Amino acid sequence: MKKDWKAKLHEVIYEADTPAGKLFDIVLMILIFASILLVMLESVNEFAESHGKLLNIAEWIITVLFTLEYFARIISIRKPKEYIFSFYGIIDFLSTIPKYLSVFIVGSQSLVALRALRLLRVFRVLKLARYIGASNNLMKALKASKTKIGVFIMFILILCTILGSVMYLVESGEESGFTSIPRSIYWAIVTLTTVGYGDIAPHTALGQLIASIVMILGYGIIAVPTGIVTAEFATMDKTKIDLNTQSCQHCAAEGHKANADYCFHCGESLHPEETD
Amino acid sequence: MKKDWKAKLHEVIYEADTPAGKLFDIVLMILIFASILLVMLESVNEFAESHGKLLNIAEWIITVLFTLEYFARIISIRKPKEYIFSFYGIIDFLSTIPKYLSVFIVGSQSLVALRALRLLRVFRVLKLARYIGASNNLMKALKASKTKIGVFIMFILILCTILGSVMYLVESGEESGFTSIPRSIYWAIVTLTTVGYGDIAPHTALGQLIASIVMILGYGIIAVPTGIVTAEFATMDKTKIDLNTQSCQHCAAEGHKANADYCFHCGESLHPEETD
Amino acid sequence: MKKDWKAKLHEVIYEADTPAGKLFDIVLMILIFASILLVMLESVNEFAESHGKLLNIAEWIITVLFTLEYFARIISIRKPKEYIFSFYGIIDFLSTIPKYLSVFIVGSQSLVALRALRLLRVFRVLKLARYIGASNNLMKALKASKTKIGVFIMFILILCTILGSVMYLVESGEESGFTSIPRSIYWAIVTLTTVGYGDIAPHTALGQLIASIVMILGYGIIAVPTGIVTAEFATMDKTKIDLNTQSCQHCAAEGHKANADYCFHCGESLHPEETD
Amino acid sequence: MKKDWKAKLHEVIYEADTPAGKLFDIVLMILIFASILLVMLESVNEFAESHGKLLNIAEWIITVLFTLEYFARIISIRKPKEYIFSFYGIIDFLSTIPKYLSVFIVGSQSLVALRALRLLRVFRVLKLARYIGASNNLMKALKASKTKIGVFIMFILILCTILGSVMYLVESGEESGFTSIPRSIYWAIVTLTTVGYGDIAPHTALGQLIASIVMILGYGIIAVPTGIVTAEFATMDKTKIDLNTQSCQHCAAEGHKANADYCFHCGESLHPEETD
């Protein structure tokens, strides 16, 4: 069985069943971590000033490597458009382009727009999500309880709007930070979710009474999302399906069953070389 | 089968099974959101000063629209009193009236009483609850565990009273904010519910020891409401009943079974036009 | 069937099945709430100074009423010692005595010892626990998972000791409040239980990294007590027993089955008058 | 059946089935608590200065006792290496050695390295974990859901990286503490886990809006680890195995089944004296 170099490249890049494929994945993971670390270090002022040059070089090296990966992915797939406009294709493009753009807009390095653009590189972290195969079950449970969770969040928001408005009325004369209804709603969310920053906190006796009610409410209704997801998990656990790490050479679809021979999305064979 | 205009209006306003009914619901939802946004923006001082006139006009437009909706609801129903004194009828009235009252009491715009009155408009957010049909199940689970949750909250309050009093004794000489028993109880609730503002925090070693116990207690007993609701959900999930979005033309009762022909509340037919 | 006055008094005080018994319970509940309110108001300095005399009179009235209740309980029971040395007997005594003692030690009103003594009155709130019959189930679930919860708390304390010590080392040179190991352990508990006061918070990068780990740990292991109690609830729910509100005239034992005729503790009849 | 002194010593030290074995365990527990208390008190500056001599003597006594225990453990076991390089063997060694080393490096008492070394003594608290036999079940549930929890934590970290970066962009111009991406990620973790110190908190309206989303996210997804562990507990509870407190004289393996006759790890008899 002879494989052409494109098929080989596809196997290395898109699958993790061969030694080369596994090595590629590990190298890619290290690169992603290094890349995220660079973006973080760049944002620490003291470090950026003392090691600016080093950071710049390292960033260029990583950018070039990700550029190579991007083109390799496009070349090795039979229908490049499917990849380019897929979620990961867009992430790959958006997180690689900023460094190149920075060459053209050197004069205005401090612009907020550019800063935002450069932060796009942090989205490379989403490439890690490719490796969370095991989370399929977890995501399924969340998806199954989507409607219930939506209703629950709507309920929370209605509750916080009412509670925030009441607190705005009660505490408005005080120096406690309830200066407008949106801020008061922000406080209600901070309190109901039991986060409790303390940047806004009631000073009056009545305000503290209402706050106590909000807290006990929040402490009690946390049971609701937990109950929803736990119930969903209980039913979910019974129907596990084994998935492999292969992806289709035609359409880049992932999540094939362990014993699948054809892509569930486009119907092409998953082992084209064997049928030659 | 001919329908009179009242029946048609009733269908549009109270039901969501026809295209016109769905459109009405969507328009109403947008109006509610716009209305809530206006109340919020009005409370932000900088915005209220610079755009006061605009806010006033927009508020008048919305108030007139809600007034029309209010009267349409009264006219289209056969027993108007059932609607007027229902939960939503009162909400509709209370949230529409403040703007009209503001005309008569112009001289004393800054009164707290008027401020409170104007905040009634925020209750329009409760009209959104009409659309949380999916939450029936959620509410049922909460209602079923009402007694247990009540006992749990009583238990929490007794615990917080004791703990707060002890902390008042231990920390009373310090500058840590435990100036009275009610404030100390407030602190106990803030800590037990794991909110933790930090506006009142123990300074003495003994106080911090007791606080640690309170925290671990709170961290542990959060399991109790969760256990209650989860258990209730598990049994609840098995008995789902399909409900439709119709409401009775006589008494405005909602939540009829999908195949119901007569109102479960007043016994009148739900399809009067078909029996003509 | 003639009842002697002691049996009648016993029925009114210890049981809630007759109208008189229910009325007694309601009056007692109101008195307890009033009493707790008085203790709270006394601790608010501004109020205590302006209404000192009123508070004193009200406190005397309540103390006399609770004294009458205490003696009525002793007289109406056949074995008074069982009541006097029971949990509620001790609570009743301890919460009534402080006011009488305050007469003898007038000269040194500001003593901390006296203050502590007077706070004993707050324990009257525990008398409310008599009415939490419905919580039997709740308490049973907690008791059944006692060992597991004990192990869990021990695990938390070992974890916090290690984490606190490490943070003490990392942050000791900073101004962030980690001045000793006990304080650092206090911080670890505050953080792990997701309370998060913010009075002690890491300033160094390494400290914030460790703190992040502690938080994610705390966020994750909160699942453990919940899992324990929920599992216990699931089995508990299946075996509900109906209990009545009667208590034995001989030994004050409570929690008899709905159809019990004899005390499960001392074997005496629960309906002595009927057997006359 | 005659036992040699090594076998007897082994029984006393490694097992808790005989009165002597139980006494040994209790004495050891008290020593561990005393030892931890000493390390804590040493870290409180005021106490260390006023009672320095006393602390030093007490520490020496405890160190000598733990040294004796360490050698007794080595002597009484047939394969000492198994103990020395086991988890508890290393803990025992590391927590005993610092006091001896402190004799040789007296001149530089204030070195951070030495301080860290002395803190190793706090790890003695881990010796308590020997007594958490009941937690086997708890640990099993956690181990069984290891992969799912790992994926969940990875998901949380990816989410916090994205959210922290966005907040860094939004709040960078403000005085609210979002000075670098790592700090912003730290804030995202503090908020998502509902800890909420409040040392870093958003000041802008947009920042508070994003923070609200983070909080509701955190409040909602706390259900996920709970659901995972609860589901695992439900299946775990059905298959309980009784374990005894014996440990193998050859290899120190613990956790034998109640009716085991041979060590599951090295195959040696667990009752060698009986086979003599």
What is the location of CATH 1.20.120.350 in chain C? 2-131
Q: Do B126 and A215 touch (CB under 8 A)?
A: no
Lowest mean pLDDT of A148-157, B176-185, D13-22, D108-117, name the range.
D108-117
For the stretch C74-116, pLDDT in tens is 988 888 888 899 888 888 888 888 888 877 766 555 555 666 7
Q: Do D181 and A39 touch (CB under 8 A)?
A: yes
> A195, A224, A232, A236: which to substitute to probe chain B, counting the most B Cβ within 10 Å?
A224
Comparing D276 with D150, the larger pLDDT belongs to D150
For the stretch D61-90, pLDDT in tens is 999 999 999 999 898 888 888 889 988 888
Residues in chain B: 276
Q: Report the chain C residue with the minimal C-alpha distance to residue B215.
A: C193
Cα D154 to Cα A37, A226, C63, D157, distances in angstroms: 16, 20, 60, 5
Comparing D231 with D251, the larger pLDDT belongs to D231
User: What backbone torsions phi and psi does residue B233 show, to the nearest 5 degrees?
Assistant: -60, -40
Q: How far apart are the C-alpha atoms of A212 and A205, rounded to whole Å?
A: 11
Give the mean model confidence (pLDDT) for residues A242-269.
60
**Structure-block tokens of residue C117:** 């003594």
* pLDDT at residue C6 tops 70: yes
Q: Which of A151, A191, A230 sits opposite B230 (nearest CB)?
A: A230
Question: What pLDDT sits at residue D97?
Answer: 86
Question: What pLDDT sits at residue A242?
Answer: 43
Which are the contacts of A253, defined by CB distance < 8 A and separation ≥ 6?
A247, A263, A264, A265, A266
Following DSSP, what letter does each residue of C151-179 receive, concatenated? HHHHHHHHHHHHHHHHHHHHHTTSSSS--
Which are the contacts of C275, defined by CB distance < 8 A and separation ≥ 6?
C269
Give the mean model confidence (pLDDT) for residues D215-235.
81
Lowest mean pLDDT of A2-16, A57-71, B42-56, D186-200, name the range.
A2-16
Comparing C-alpha atoms, which of B129, B133, B58, B124 is closest to residue B97? B124
pLDDT band at C119 (very low <50, low <70, confident <90, very high): confident
Q: Report the chain B residue with the minimal C-alpha distance to residue C231.
A: B227
Q: Please state, as a whole number, how many other Cβ atoms lie within 10 Å of the Cβ of residue A3.
A: 14
Q: Which chains touch C (3 or more CB pairs under 8 A)?
A: A, B, D
Question: How big is the A-C interface in CB pairs under 8 Å?
Answer: 9
For the stretch A100-130, pLDDT in tens is 887 776 555 555 566 677 778 888 888 777 6
The answer to whether D119 contacts chain C (CB < 8 Å) is yes
Q: Do A198 and B199 touch (CB under 8 A)?
A: yes
Q: Which of D148, D194, D211 sits opposite A194 (nearest CB)?
A: D194
The answer to whether A219 contacts chain C (CB < 8 Å) is no
The answer to whether C196 contacts chain B (CB < 8 Å) is yes
Residue D126: list chain C partners with CB under 8 A.
158, 162
Give the mean model confidence (pLDDT) for residues B83-100.
87
Residue C194: list chain A partners with CB under 8 A.
194
Packed helices A146-171 and B112-119: angle between N→C axes, nearest 10 degrees: 170
Question: What pLDDT sits at residue A44?
Answer: 86
Question: What pLDDT sits at residue C236?
Answer: 60
Question: What pLDDT sits at residue A192?
Answer: 93
Q: How far apart are the C-alpha atoms of C213 and C201, rounded to whole Å?
A: 14
What is the location of CATH 1.10.287.70 in chain A? 144-238
Q: How far apart are the C-alpha atoms of D177 and D196, rounded to whole Å?
A: 14
Give the mean model confidence (pLDDT) for residues D48-54.
88
* pLDDT at residue D185 tops 90: yes
Interface confidence: ipTM more than 0.85: no
The answer to whether C197 contacts chain A (CB < 8 Å) is yes
Q: How far apart are the C-alpha atoms of C273 and C260, rounded to whole Å?
A: 15
* pLDDT at residue A216 tops 70: yes
Give the percent of chain D with pLDDT over 90: 18
Question: What pLDDT sits at residue C234?
Answer: 67
* pLDDT at residue D100 tops 80: yes
CB C59 within 8 A of CB C99: yes
pLDDT band at A17 (very low <50, low <70, confident <90, very high): confident
The answer to whether D58 contacts chain C (CB < 8 Å) is no
Q: What is the residue-averaged pLDDT of chain C?
A: 79
Chain A: give the shortest CA distance to residue B275, in Å: 37
Q: Do D122 and C224 touch (CB under 8 A)?
A: no
Interface of B with A in 223-262 (CB under 8 A): 225-230, 232-234, 237
Question: What pLDDT sits at residue C240?
Answer: 41
**What are residue C218's DSSP bridge partners?**
none
Question: What CATH fold (topology level) applies to the domain A2-131?
Answer: Four Helix Bundle (Hemerythrin (Met), subunit A) (1.20.120)
Residues in chain D: 276
**Structure-block tokens of residue C109:** 């009103």
Question: What pLDDT sits at residue D1?
Answer: 47
Question: What pLDDT sits at residue B240?
Answer: 41
Lowest mean pLDDT of A138-152, B166-180, C6-20, C185-199, name the range.
A138-152
**What are residue B254's DSSP bridge partners?**
B247
Lowest mean pLDDT of A110-119, C241-250, D159-168, D209-218, name the range.
C241-250
Chain B: give the shortest CA distance to residue A230, in Å: 7
Comparing C-alpha atoms, which of B117, B125, B132, B116 is closest to residue B36? B125
Question: What pLDDT sits at residue A275?
Answer: 42
CATH number for A144-238 (one of 1.25.60.10, 3.30.70.590, 1.10.287.70, 1.10.3720.10): it is 1.10.287.70
* pLDDT at residue B6 tops 70: yes
DSSP at C86:
S
Please classify residue D43 by burial: count the beta carbons closer than 10 Å to its beta carbon, then call 0-12 exposed, 13-18 middle and 19+ buried.
buried
Best mean pLDDT range from C11-15, D136-140, D259-263: C11-15
**Structure-block tokens of residue A272:** 């084209």
CB C74 within 8 A of CB C80: yes
Question: What pLDDT sits at residue B25?
Answer: 85
For the stretch A133-190, pLDDT in tens is 555 666 777 777 777 778 888 888 989 999 999 999 888 877 778 888 999 999 999 9
* pLDDT at residue D110 tops 60: no
pTM (predicted TM-score): 0.81
* pLDDT at residue C268 tops 70: no
Question: What pLDDT sits at residue C18?
Answer: 83
For the stretch A42-88, pLDDT in tens is 888 888 889 889 998 998 999 999 999 999 989 888 888 888 998 88
Q: What is the residue-averaged pLDDT of chain D?
A: 79
Residue A198: list chain C partners with CB under 8 A.
197-198
Write down the residue that tokens 């129907």 correspond to.
A239
* pLDDT at residue C23 tops 60: yes
Comparing C136 with B53, the larger pLDDT belongs to B53
pLDDT band at D238 (very low <50, low <70, confident <90, very high): very low
CB A229 within 8 A of CB A148: no
Phi-psi region of B240 (alpha: psi -120 to 50; beta: other; left: phi over 0): beta
Lowest mean pLDDT of B160-174, B207-221, D97-111, D181-195, name the range.
D97-111
Residue C119: list chain B partners with CB under 8 A.
165-166, 168-169
Lowest mean pLDDT of B34-43, C137-146, D263-272, name the range.
D263-272
The answer to whether C194 contacts chain A (CB < 8 Å) is yes
Residue A195: list chain C partners with CB under 8 A.
196
pLDDT band at D113 (very low <50, low <70, confident <90, very high): low
